Amino acid sequence: MHHGKPLSETLDRACGKIAPLWPLENFVAVNPYLGLTDQPFAAAARQLEQTGGITTTMSMSFYRDAIAKGEITHEDIAQALDASETAGKKDPKAFTASLSGEKDQNNAEAEVLSFAEAAGNACSRNWNDFFRDRISSWGSSYFDRGQAQWKAAYTDRELYEAWRVEAAVDRTPEVMGLKGFRQAISELPMDAEKAAKTALEALQIPEEATELYLRRLLRRHGGWSAYIAYLDWDNRLYGRDDGKLRQFLCALLSLEYALFRCVDKSETEQAWNAAKLHAAELSANPSPSDHLRKLLVLQEAYDIAARRKLAQKFEAAEKVQTAEKTTPAAQAVFCIDVRSELFRRNVEMVAPEIETLGFAGFFGFPVKYLPTGHDKADDHCPVLLPASHIVKDAYGSDAQYEAAASLRKADRSFSHALKSFRSGAVSAFGFVSPLGLAYLPKLFADSFRLRSDKSSTREEGYKGIDISGIPTETKIQMATGALKGMSMKDGFARLVLLVGHGAQTVNNPHASGLDCGACAGRSGEANARVAAAVLNDPEVRAGLSDAGIQIPSETYFIAGLHNTTTDEVTLFYTRNMPVSHQAEAALMQVKLRKAGAAARAERAMRMHI
């Protein structure tokens, strides 16, 4: 039945529509439309509605209220209609009048259904949630990265094979009434794609609706699908084998097949035939429904209204006579993160002689950073980009490095042993009573910030970031791209601050979401240090001069870190800093403290405290 196109291509196309989601270790924002960016927004909205019941607009009543309040005008609607693909007359008054009979609709009639959903509706059983629970139980074990105390079996096997082995011995479905479920799984081929073909033929999915149906399966298990898509993305980024999401989709198809084999056909056949017919009709007509078209026009009008209001604010603002540009007393480059933007604004308020600029917090240096005492380097760049060269901490001597590494490894070993003891099935009870009170000082210290921030604490002999692993030519290329991106080709001040950002937080699973997204959910300290070290390198400056960027000999770059929890900025001085700049750097630190106080006051007003 599926002979028109190779099944592998259909599986890959369905998987390609899923945007990757990075784990808590790199909790960063990613475009949720990433797999649909080659399509018009209306088409993407239609597909998300069909496969996931996902709405990409507000409700009809929301827009009607906005029109009634005057937030959306007829002129806004006229512009939106001109920009839309809506056929027929584009009269804003007639369009507005047509909205009066429109009701808020759910997406049920626009959605494709899986067999689990159709069968569940027919016999009043929530098979979809049941299988989501089984997949999550298996996935949390298979994808564990060392958090679990007990290592799961079969993690060394390919995804589909590992899932099939466990699904074939899992008695839970049969306890829930699916007699013969394990037998149905065992009869499927061990090869993932062959199993998928067997399932599709048994379910008799119309060929034209196959891709839509497959995407529905992935959307119904959206969290796991997005996480596995991230694994594939990361593997492709570094030239490793991918295809995990395709295997996961084959596992979902196998579950559908086994359920199909086990349920009473007299109860489900009619519902499933109707679901397949509906899927074929939706596939044959990919255009948005009339209701969705209207919502998309209204959303565009709402966006136009928002832009209009913003433009009016700028036009109404008093025009300030700008003086002839002069070299600023100092320059400070902050990340374009909204928390750093607030601090940057307050720097300009308390010290107008300082010119501030914004740039992505990795400062154009996509590096891997190997902290002292670690065996693995972490990416410090946007997650969609591959990191290039490894940088590490530099110490005055090998002995000082070894001492620092040993200290950190010992500290981690002790912490790991203590964690194992605290979370052990038996030892946890013995831990709380005799040792629990010993944590009171730590709780008080964390609550009242009585302990120092370890991110800025360094061992004896620490000299900064070692950038010797990056070839000089690469440094020059990175520096050229960074300075052009910052619009810093001339007019350099004597002192230029490169301020990354990070957050001070305790016992927070979402901690990486508070750090720098441009640094893969990590502190921007390492990137700021790398950028400053490269831009202070005489060889790099000579190369930049050849590229037409003249950095004056008296200009010096300093790395810094903005703690977005406390709005404090730490500047990282180095032994190589000229004596002539030290007084200016100290004065800069004073002004940054004043800016921090102003930023905290502004945040306090927003929080009504």
Question: How far is it, in rounded angstroms, from Cα 518 to Cα 131?
Answer: 36
Q: Give how far Cα 48 sits from Cα of 42, 194, 292, Å.
A: 10, 28, 12
Tell me the average pLDDT across 123-128: 92
Give this prediction's pTM. 0.86
List, for residues 473-484, the tens digit of each pLDDT value.
999 999 999 999
CA gyration radius, the chain: 29
Reply yes or no on whether the pLDDT at 436 is more than 70.
no
Question: How far is it, in rounded angstroms, from Cα 261 to Cα 186?
Answer: 12
Please, which residues have CB within 8 angstroms of residue 286's CB and are 6 or more apart in sequence? 43, 46, 47
Of the candidates 286, 301, 398, which has an alpha carbon nearest to the alpha carbon of residue 47?
286
Instruction: Judge whether 296 and 57 are in contact, CB under 8 Å.
Output: yes
Q: What is the DSSP letter of 396?
A: S
Tell me the average pLDDT across 406-419: 70
Question: How far is it, in rounded angstroms, from Cα 226 to Cα 216?
Answer: 13
Number of Cβ atoms within 10 Å of the Cβ of 429: 9
Q: How confident is the model at residue 459 (pLDDT cuts 50, 70, 90)?
A: low
Q: Which two tokens stand for residue 393?
A: 């901490």
Q: How confident is the model at residue 152 (pLDDT cuts 50, 70, 90)?
A: low
Decide: helix, strand or coil at residue 372.
Answer: coil
Which residues is 334 bridged to in the sheet? 358, 499
For 500, phi then psi, to 5°, come to -80, 180
List, for residues 188-232, the tens digit of each pLDDT value.
999 999 999 999 999 999 999 999 999 999 999 999 999 999 999
For 43, phi then psi, to 5°, come to -65, -40
Q: Which two tokens stand for residue 90?
A: 């584009």
The pLDDT assigned to 354 comes to 94
The pLDDT assigned to 409 comes to 77
Q: What is the DSSP letter of 506?
A: S
Helical segments of 69-114, H only: 74-83, 92-98
The pLDDT assigned to 417 comes to 63
Instruction: Judge whether 354 and 348 are in contact, CB under 8 Å.
Output: yes
Helical segments of 115-243, H only: 115-123, 127-142, 159-167, 172-175, 181-187, 192-203, 210-220, 222-237
Q: Which two tokens stand for residue 226?
A: 């997005």
Q: What is the DSSP letter of 319?
A: P
Of the candidates 106, 327, 136, which has an alpha carbon nearest to the alpha carbon of residue 227?
136
Question: How far is it, in rounded angstroms, from Cα 254 to Cα 249?
Answer: 9
Element holding 563 (H helix, E strand)? strand 556-563
Q: Which two tokens stand for residue 558?
A: 């300093």
Q: How confident is the model at residue 322 (pLDDT cuts 50, 70, 90)?
A: low
Element holding 525 (H helix, E strand)? helix 525-535
